[in-house]
Amino acid sequence: MNIVETGIEGLFVIEPKVFNDSRGYFFESYNANNLVTAGINTVFVQDNESLSTYGVLRGLHYQIEPKGMTKLLRVTSGKVLDVAVDIRKESQTFGHHFSIELSEENKKQLYIPRGFAHGFIVLSETAVVNYKCDEFYSKEHEEGIIWSDANLAIDWKIEIKEIILSDKDKVQPTFNEHTPYRK
């Protein structure tokens, strides 16, 4: 397993070692010992999975403390553009975002610590996204930022007219309006 720094403190791309042969492939999708060796000591308590069609954009979501959430994401079918926005006020990269294509082909994963808003858009016909969380979902602590915020300038890789949003994600506040993430 190769753990790659993204340029934003605490945010990592995880590249598993994939073993291919005539039967198919094998890889460890999660190994706590490898993460601990890299300084990641997260204990995950919940696994989630979503199925979405082309153009579905889910995000940008986060939970405020005391229910902040770390996530470890991967795509088991299809391809998405995954985006994490640093909303830690004390961070040198506050307001910066990182994006990466996650797919069943590349098998990369994104480790997103507490203090980030997160979202993804489906770039294939369908996509299945799986993610581990270190905190349980809490509706009372859930907040968001509008996906189209001009200050964030996220390139979602598809035309705006093709983007499909939930009613909730159509009306999220801008980055400057959102409730700042607090430790």
> Known catalytic residues?
61, 131
Q: Is 83 exposed, middle or buried (0-12, 13-18, 19+ CB in 10 A)?
A: buried
Phi and psi, residue 32, nearest 5°: -60, -35
The three-state secondary structure class of 37 is: helix
24-26 vs 116-122, strand pairing mode: unpaired
CA distance 91 to 113: 13
